[in-house]
Amino acid sequence: MNFYIETNRFILREFRETDLDDLFELDSDPEVHKYLGNNPVKSKEDIAKGIEFVRQQYKDSGIGRWIVEDKETGEALGWSGLKYETSDIDQSKYYDLGYRLKRKHWGKGIATETSEAAIEFGFDNLNLKMISAAAHKENGASNHVLQKLGFKQTNEFLWEKEPCFWYDLPLSVYLEKTLQS
């Protein structure tokens, strides 16, 4: 399954085997994994398995995270987008918004810009009624991005003994926000 979505600065597309080196740069960085369980990837074999896993999700669920490609340089900067997930709170299924970017590209509004496109895709193309997300309580950037996008914190839970916030963005809130802008 192929995806192609354009934002102002980025192309959002499916994971490919050729993304191996860029994803290794991303996932071998301990700073990137600071709020993700502190377990950065050690081998490119694990990245290759991860790419296959995401490509299988496209087939099984019709959606999965997207590579964020810089329109000017062609560099794969990381990933962003939706995933059909199992909740850590009650094991129910839901659509999760997430993002992970190479450290050198943090602070340029990339998570915000690409998430806006993913949210639009989820509500307009997948006809979702709700998109949810989770972030470690101390992950200031991620919590800020979610709140800026209109997500409301509705719960708290422990993931691998780490305190996390749970967020929801219902379709009604998205529509209201879209009408106002």
Ligand X SMILES: CC(C)(COP(=O)(O)OP(=O)(O)OC[C@H]1O[C@@H](n2cnc3c(N)ncnc32)[C@H](O)[C@@H]1OP(=O)(O)O)[C@@H](O)C(=O)NCCC(=O)NCCS
Footprint of ligand X (CB under 6 A): 32, 35-36, 99-101, 106-112, 135, 139-142, 144-145, 148
Nearest approach, Cβ of residue 107 and ligand X (Å): 5
Nearest approach, Cβ of residue 39 and ligand X (Å): 13
The C-alpha atoms of residue 116 and residue 145 are separated, in whole angstroms, by 10
Q: Which is nearer to ligand X, 62 or 109 (CB)?
A: 109
Give the residue at shortest CB distance from ligand X. 140
Q: Which is nearer to ligand X, 63 or 111 (CB)?
A: 111
The C-alpha atoms of residue 125 and residue 30 are separated, in whole angstroms, by 35
Nearest approach, Cβ of residue 76 and ligand X (Å): 13
Phi, psi (rounded to 5 degrees) for 6: -110, 135
Q: Which is nearer to ligand X, 63 or 164 (CB)?
A: 164
Segments of 20-161 assigned E as strands: 66-70, 76-86, 93-101, 130-136, 152-159
Nearest approach, Cβ of residue 158 and ligand X (Å): 15
Q: Which of 133, 126, 21 is nearest to 78 (CA)?
A: 21
